[in-house]
Structure 1
Amino acid sequence: MKRLYEKLAIVLICFTGFIHEGSSIKEVAAMLPALSVSALAQLLPGRKLTAVLLALCAALCGILPPMVCMLPLLLYDALWEGKWQLILCGLTYFMGEPDASQVAISAACCAVTVMIYLRVSKLEETVDTLRSLRDEVTEKNMQLKSTNEAIARAQDSEIHIATLKERNRIAREIHDNVGHMLTRSLLQAGALMIINKDEQLKEPLESLKTTLDNAMTSIRQSVHDLHDDSIDLRRGIEEAISAVDGRFTVKLDYDMSEKAAGNVKLCILGIVKESLSNAVKHSTGDRINVSVQEHPAFYRLTVEDNGKCGEIAQTGIGLENMRERAASIGGTINYTATEKGFRVFMSVPK
């Protein structure tokens, strides 16, 4: 749009040259082809047709002398085409009887046109540079945002792992220290009850043993809860996948909350490891899909590969171990072998 405004200004400059002319018909005849070619150059830049028409229009100066007044406009378009030499065709004007004053006016107008072109081209170059810088800054900001998000996720993951390790350490400390002391106290209380012959101490000793039993139950439940919370199932599965033979491409589809019981998590993790190990040992395929999903009423695990398998050795130790694991938490497990691959499917009700 800015270039159109500049062209309008150049056209007004060209009109000053027509003041020297006397025939309005020749002026109109010179303006129409020049304006038409200039408009075409605006619509079809960089075309051979545009360059040819600019040269022909400039050459008309030899036939139609008032055309020399429109040379500044043609020069402007030729400069944007990168072929200012096309205006040299306007030298045909000197084949006739050139008007010195008209030549001076046209030359001055061409000089002004060149200055306008230099100003506008420099301005457009600056705008392009600023636009490029803006795009580069936007891209850098997006990369920085992505990097910051990745760092934040990594920090959250490290904090989560550290929290789980600390919970596991606390559970071990309680189990090894407090649990053992309570167990010893229970044994001592039981021994005192056996050897006690004083009826007045019988009831206090029974109360003491009951209190110690309740404390042991509470401690055991707390340790159990801490241990359950310290199991990061997803991380365990990802570590098992990372250890798989490089000839396999393993895809994990994980959608399960961290609220599952510890025995369920351990069962799923154990079956995933056993299934991956079996696939590496026996499968002829190159792809394994692992899916762990939580539904409103049950948990679902699927491990399948794309290797050919004709039949299943039902007496295999690995398959029997997985069946026992599933049964221990009330789940069911099925194995399916087809020409398209081997599939392990387990369902555990909540």
Structure 2
Amino acid sequence: MKERLRGWLIDIAVLVVAAAEATLSSITEHTTTATVLSVIAVLALLLRNRWPFLVYLATLPAVAVVDVYVAAVVALYSVSARYRNWWLLIGCGLALTVCLFFPIPEPGEDFTASDLVLEIIDSAMTAGGPILLGRFLQTRRELALRLEEVREAREYERQVDAQVILTKERNQLAREMHDVVSHQVSLIAVQAGVVTVSTADPAVREAVEHIRTLSVNTLDELRHMVNLLRASGTPESELSPQPTLTDLHRLIDNSGIETELLGAAPAGIEAPMQRAIYRTIQEALTNVRKHAPGAKATVEFRRDDSDLTVTVTNTAPTRPALALPSARHGLIGLRERAALLDGRFHAGPTADGGYQLRLRLPLN
């Protein structure tokens, strides 16, 4: 907006100066021809940004007949700023130089050779000034564009370098996950299978079978995450297929926790919201299994006019919990998921010794 306003002010100033010079010259000449040529030269400047060469040609008669040259100088500058052909610019400069000689002195007037040389120099400088200025400003604009292209290229190279580094880190993380975590979980699944075959106690067999099922599911999810990490942000690395709310009953059944499901999510909610709800419930049930053995859980969906609230509440544990390592990264991730969806997340203990996770997401 500022650039456009400045351009308008410059055009208005140029028109005012050209009109003032043309008016004074026309008053001096006292001829209709001088007035008409002066008016044409000034009005032609209104189109100098669209057709600079034709406007320049329209201003030359006023230079030759009336000695009005401000409009021609401005038009020549516009030609120089638009075109790069030096032969065209030299021709336009010579045309203005010749027109500046008119009217030619009559034979009786005193006109020496030195006057002729000075007139040539003055005319050439008058014609050459706008050409050099136009080329200078045009070159400066082109250099500014080149510098902008260089900055964009450097920024692109920086992003590429960062992506290469990130790819290496992802591949290293994928290798570690595959070599360490996958190996350990596989051993758990194999040993659980051995216990299932060797034991005669139905309760033990059921518990161990459940452990083996969880291990197999963990390996499947781990393979999927390794593939995502190795894809390194390519189109193939989209989070698909990802769990949705249709998988919620299977998640609850495989959790090994007595869980009550109250209500349901509204139909047609977007996939990112379904993933956030699923991961919240998954993390809540995992925490119950780790930190509240023997506890019961309740998953409740509630909807009001604008929000959907998902609450996972567990009772107090009935058995001592094993000391398992935890960095609380799961809760941090859930809070980040909620923030990305403009939602709110809360986690904290309840009055009866249990724990509650609450996710509130906007539906509109």
Asked if these proteins are the same fold (TM beyond 0.5), I'd say: no
What's the TM-score once normalised by structure 1's chain length? 0.43
Tell me: higher relative CO, structure 1 or 2? Use CA pairs within 8 A at least 6 residues apart: 1
What's the TM-score once normalised by structure 2's chain length? 0.42
Of structures 1 and 2, the larger Rg is shown by: 1
